[in-house]
Amino acid sequence: MAVWSKRFSKELDDIAREYNSSIKVDHLMYREDITGSIAHTEMLGEKNIISEDDAEKIVNGLRSILSDIESGELEIDMNAEDIHFFVEKELTKRIGDAGKRMHTARSRNDQVVTDLRLYIRNKLDELLEDIRALSKSLIALSKENLDSIMPGYTHLQAAQPVTFAHHLMAYVQMLIRDKGRLEDARKRLNECPLGSCALATTVYDIDRFMTAKKLGFDRPTRNSMDAVSDRDFVLEVEFAISMTMIHLSRLSEEMIIWSSQEFGFIELDDSFTTGSSIMPQKKNPDMAELTRGKTGTVIGILSGMLVTMKGLPLAYNKDMQEDKKGIFECIDILSKSLKVMKGMIDTLSVKKETMLHKANHGYLVATDLADYLAERGIPFRDAYNIIGAIIKEASEKKSDLTDLPMDFYKKYSDKFDEDLYQYIKLENSLNRRKVYGGPAPETVLKQIEDTEKALE
Would you give the DSSP letter of residue 284? B
Query: Rounded to the nearest whole angstrom, what is the least distance from the CB of residue 51 to ligand ARG in the complex?
Result: 28
- Residue 155 appears among annotated catalytic residues: yes
Alpha helix ranges (H) inside 107-231: 108-144, 164-189, 208-214, 224-229
Tell me which residue of 309, 317, 330, 324 sits closest to 82, measured CA to CA.
Answer: 324
Q: Which is nearer to ligand ARG, 89 or 425 (CB)?
A: 89
Query: Rounded to the nearest whole angstrom, what is the least distance from the CB of residue 237 to ligand ARG in the complex?
Result: 17
Tell which positions 378-417 bind ligand ARG, by CB under 6 A.
Answer: none
Query: Rounded to the nearest whole angstrom, what is the least distance from the CB of residue 317 to ligand ARG in the complex?
Result: 9
Surface-to-core class of residue 186, CB atoms within 10 Å of its CB (0-12 exposed, 13-18 middle, 19+ buried): buried
**Per CB under 6 A, 165 contacts ligand ARG:** no
CB neighbour list of residue 93: distance below 8 Å, 6 or more residues apart: 99
Pick one of 194, 287, 320, 348: the residue that binds ligand ARG (CB under 6 A). Answer: 320
Query: Rounded to the nearest whole angstrom, what is the least distance from the CB of residue 219 to ligand ARG in the complex?
Result: 23
Do β-strands 149-154 and 157-163 pair in parallel, antiparallel, or remain unpaired?
antiparallel
CB neighbour list of residue 213: distance below 8 Å, 6 or more residues apart: none
Tell me which residue of 16, 187, 198 sits closest to 112, measured CA to CA.
Answer: 198
- 81 near 30, Cβ under 8 Å? no
Q: Which is nearer to ligand ARG, 199 or 290 (CB)?
A: 199
Tell me which residue of 333, 327, 324 sits closest to 83, measured CA to CA.
Answer: 324
Q: Which of these segments, 172-180, 186-194, 306-314, 318-326, binds ligand ARG (CB under 6 A)?
A: 318-326
Query: Rounded to the nearest whole angstrom, what is the least distance from the CB of residue 83 to ligand ARG in the complex?
Result: 8
Q: Which is nearer to ligand ARG, 118 or 383 (CB)?
A: 118
Do β-strands 149-154 and 266-267 pair in parallel, antiparallel, or remain unpaired?
unpaired
Tell me which residue of 126, 144, 152 sits closest to 448, measured CA to CA.
Answer: 144
Q: Which is nearer to ligand ARG, 319 or 452 (CB)?
A: 319
Give the number of other Cβ atoms within 10 Å of residue 95's Cβ: 21
- Residue 22 appears among annotated catalytic residues: no
CB neighbour list of residue 300: distance below 8 Å, 6 or more residues apart: none
Distance CA 119, CA 292 (A): 26
Tell which positions 338-367 bind ligand ARG, by CB under 6 A.
Answer: none
Tell which positions 106-135 bind ligand ARG, by CB under 6 A.
Answer: 108-109, 112
Query: Rounded to the nearest whole angstrom, what is the least distance from the CB of residue 339 to ligand ARG in the complex?
Result: 29
Catalytic option among 276, 303, 395, 399: 276
Pick one of 33, 82, 88, 130: the residue that binds ligand ARG (CB under 6 A). Answer: 82
Q: Which of these segments, 56-64, 241-249, 315-323, 442-450, binds ligand ARG (CB under 6 A)?
A: 315-323
Catalytic option among 9, 155, 277, 349: 155
**Polymer length of the chain:** 456
Q: Which of these segments, 172-180, 210-218, 316-324, 415-423, binds ligand ARG (CB under 6 A)?
A: 316-324
Query: Rounded to the nearest whole angstrom, what is the least distance from the CB of residue 101 to ligand ARG in the complex?
Result: 20
Query: Rounded to the nearest whole angstrom, what is the least distance from the CB of residue 108 to ligand ARG in the complex?
Result: 4
Provide the greatest CA pair distance for the chain. Answer: 101
Tell me which residue of 455, 454, 456, 441 sits closest to 143, measured CA to CA.
Answer: 441
CA atoms within 13 A on the CB side of 393: 12
Pick one of 321, 354, 385, 428: the residue that binds ligand ARG (CB under 6 A). Answer: 321
Q: Which is nearer to ligand ARG, 54 or 110 (CB)?
A: 110
Angle, alpha carbons 195-198-199 (nearest 5°): 85
Tell which positions 36-55 bind ligand ARG, by CB under 6 A.
Answer: none
Q: Which is nearer to ligand ARG, 56 or 322 (CB)?
A: 322
Would you give the DSSP letter of residue 448? H
Q: Which is nearer to ligand ARG, 119 or 272 (CB)?
A: 119
Pick one of 316, 328, 372, 409: the residue that binds ligand ARG (CB under 6 A). Answer: 316
* Dihedral sign of CA atoms 124, 126, 132, 135 in order: negative
Residues that bind ligand ARG (CB under 6 A): 22, 26, 82, 108-109, 112, 316, 318, 320-321
List active site positions: 155, 276
